Amino acid sequence: MGVKFKGCNCGVEKGCPTAPNCPTGALYYEPDLNKVFYDEEFCFDCGECLKTCTAVEK
């Protein structure tokens, strides 16, 4: 499948509703920075993030 993260653009001011659904933590939110990060090393293309996040694509 090959998930690609384009950077957060969902408009949520605080937090990330998608990051908690990532089973490996490849997509994660840093509250001190109010920023979402993606670590492709931990991603195994399960597609959970694709269900709720507009910043990821196949």
| Chain segment 1-58, per-residue pLDDT in tens | 567 777 776 666 677 888 899 999 998 888 888 888 888 899 888 888 888 877 666 6
Residues 6+ away with beta carbon under 8 Å from 40: 3, 5, 26
Whole-number Å distance between alpha carbons of 56 and 19:
12
In CATH terms, 1-58 corresponds, of 3.40.1190.20, 3.40.50.1820, 3.30.70.20, 3.50.50.60, to 3.30.70.20
Query: Are 19 and 27 spatial neighbours (Cβ–Cβ below 8 Å)?
Result: yes
Q: Where are the domains of the chain?
A: 1-58
SS3 assignment, position 29: strand
Q: Is the pTM of this model over 0.85?
A: no
